Amino acid sequence: MEALGLAAAPRENPLLYPGAWPADSGLLDGDRLLPLDRLVHEDRTPVLAVGSNACPGQLRHKMAEFGITTPVPMVKTRVTGIEVGVSAHVSRMGYVSASPFNAPAAVRELFVTWLDAEQLAVVDASEGVPLPEGNYARAWLPAPEVRIELTDGTALPGVFAYVNRHGVLHNGAAAPRTHPGQRALLTELLLGSARLRELFGVTPEEFSARARADGRLCARGTQVFAEEKLVTVSGLEQYVRVQQTGSPGTGSSLFPPLR
């Protein structure tokens, strides 16, 4: 991954968020990104990555934290109906992360990660899914509302995605805004809010350094987003249901809800 420029993890350098994404599909295997032998993995759970979960360096970092060494298929897809917005919370990793929002006319190239049971549990935990106060819920986004088309023309019946429980930041006109990258985002947020500058400083570097691992400060920043009316809904809340975590086949939460 070093040779491909994919090794750096935003968890270690927050201003790199969302991190470098691969140019094409591949199998993340330790320090290597290898060719894939197939695009669909029926024995795994498909999860759409809209932020740093599409960065091999970040995924490797998350898995290594729990001693997970099994490979992760990362499949480049054409997604219709989803855009990449800005989560309405400040992460203890030192950045303001991405979150999907409903955008019926949007067409994006994003990655689907096919996760086994252990990998899914790790990523769920990193997003706060098991916690009532966690930042994200994992939701099944069904076709045709969201179209997930692989490079061979295969259309998936749906995909899981992490929907922010706080909502997303808006663009000043009540519609969700898109994520421009971390440095540009933090610069804009700090320029627009004296309260954020008081909490986090005046530069992206100061913001990341102060936010990193300071849960109380991050919670205060999240509260400021809401109090200054910077937040709107993602339009994906309708797909969020009470979920459990576990292995595929052991809990209904890991499968599409009956329709």
On the question of pLDDT at 211 being above 70, the answer is yes
pLDDT digits (tens, 9 = 90+) for 123-173: 999 999 999 899 999 999 999 999 999 999 999 999 999 999 999 999 999
Tell me the CATH number for domain 14-246: 3.10.490.10
Q: What is the mean pLDDT of the chain?
A: 92
Q: Cβ neighbours of residue 133 under 8 Å, at least 6 residues apart?
A: none
Q: Tell me the Ramachandran region of residue 174: left when phi exceeds 0, alpha when psi lies from -120 to 50, beta otherwise.
A: left
Tokens 């932020």 label which residue?
A: 51
Taking the model in full, what pTM does it have? 0.91
Q: What angle do CA 95, 139, 38 make, to 5 degrees?
A: 90
pLDDT score recorded for residue 153? 95
On the question of pLDDT at 102 being above 60, the answer is yes
- Stretch 208-224: mean pLDDT: 96
